[in-house]
Structure 1
Amino acid sequence: MKKTLILVRHATAEDQNFRIKDFDRNLNSKGLSESLAMGKWLVQEGIKPDVFLSSPASRAYKTAEIIAGQYKLPIDVIQTKDGIYDGGPRAYLQAVNTIPDEHSTLILFGHNPDITYFAEYLSGASIGSMKKGSAAFIEFKNLKWEEISAKTGDLVLYKTPKQLREEE
């Protein structure tokens, strides 16, 4: 059975400053609109994630929350994994490898640079740097989640909020 991993970099967040810990930075108005646009587009395209997995950091979780809302799903469907915040690409792989095999589509919300490295690690594709609020779709043929590793997937689509705005 085909597996689809949708990697979403959190949308635009407020700037870093000494008053707010990086972990607690929230989305700004641009980020809220990017998340909404990506969520609407995913629903319109008929893409149905079975599992929502997010970094617990505010900006990633809020991106996940807004997208889940477009599916009319309660926020308690969003699972969090601490390592996605600062555990590096290995933590992303560990999170993906532990998904139960009955699920075919996973949407994972994380942070740069790790999410870009992870997308390139899995697919062998060169993405550059994932834009804020963008989504990379990687497909795996005839693999279980636990078998996914380096260059086992194909990058089939990369979509940015800017592309969505230009398509309107």
Structure 2
Amino acid sequence: MKTIYIIRHAKSSWADHFLSDFERTLNARGRQDAPMMAERFKQRGIKPDGFVSSPAMRAKTTAEIFASTLGYPSGDITYVNELYHATLSTLWTVISWFNDAQNSVALFGHNPGLTDLANSMTETIRIDNLPTCGIFAVQIECTSWAEVEHAHREFLFFDYPKRTD
């Protein structure tokens, strides 16, 4: 059994026009939402075996905040260049590369790919958008990450900063 936590980076800033898209940092709301969502994640009793992230600054910072909150060594986060603005096809490929010794992985990246991935994970749950710092969790009946795309997958939860229930 494997579990994936699909996590979109926290809200980022467009204020510094000299930064490339790749270098954009979190804005005030993102710096507030990421620790809050990491704490909500922790309160669920979740501690992923692995963290995989886009190397873009906003995704990297979000992953580091989650890692710090959950006691995961930030030096052990795996950064995968292909996750920067990845298509659905690329996301499936990257997931197949995950370490099979890790049964649960937090995946940090970008839209629209992550919303597409979340919607392709189950036949019954559809979301319009994975909001910034949103988390979409799925359990997969498989022993290898290479099997995930074709394995039975079950929705666990969907959480995001503005969720009130």
* Residues 122, 152 of structure 1: 8 Å contact kept: no
Structure 1 stretch displaced more, 54-63 or 153-162:
153-162
Q: Which residue of 2 aligns with 1:46?
A: 45
TM-score, with length taken from structure 1: 0.90
Amino acid of the structure 2 residue aligned with 1:92:
L
> Aligned partners of 1:85 and 1:25: how far apart in 2?
13
1:12 maps onto 2:11 in alignment: yes
Q: Which residue of 2 aligns with 1:138?
A: 138
Alignment of 1:87-126 (within 5 A): 87-124=86-123, 125-126=125-126
* Residues 142, 151 of structure 2: 8 Å contact kept: no
> Aligned partners of 1:102 and 1:71: how far apart in 2?
19
> Aligned partners of 1:96 and 1:10: how far apart in 2?
17
- Residues 82 and 16 from structure 1, CA distance in 2 versus in 1: closer, same or farther, beyond 3 angstroms? farther
Alignment of 1:25-64 (within 5 A): 25-64=24-63
Q: Which 5+ residue runs of structure 1 have no aligned equivalent?
A: none
Q: Give the match's secondary structure for 1:161.
A: coil
> Aligned partners of 2:142 and 2:51: how far apart in 1?
22
| CA apart distance, 1:15 | 2.0
Q: Which residue of 1 aligns with 2:2?
A: 3
* Residues 140, 151 of structure 2: 8 Å contact kept: no
> Aligned partners of 1:16 and 1:26: how far apart in 2?
9
* Identical-pair percentage: 29
* Residues 11, 27 of structure 1: 8 Å contact kept: yes
> Aligned partners of 1:122 and 1:151: how far apart in 2?
10
* Residues 100, 143 of structure 2: 8 Å contact kept: no
TM-score, with length taken from structure 2: 0.92
Q: Which 5+ residue runs of structure 2 have no aligned equivalent?
A: none
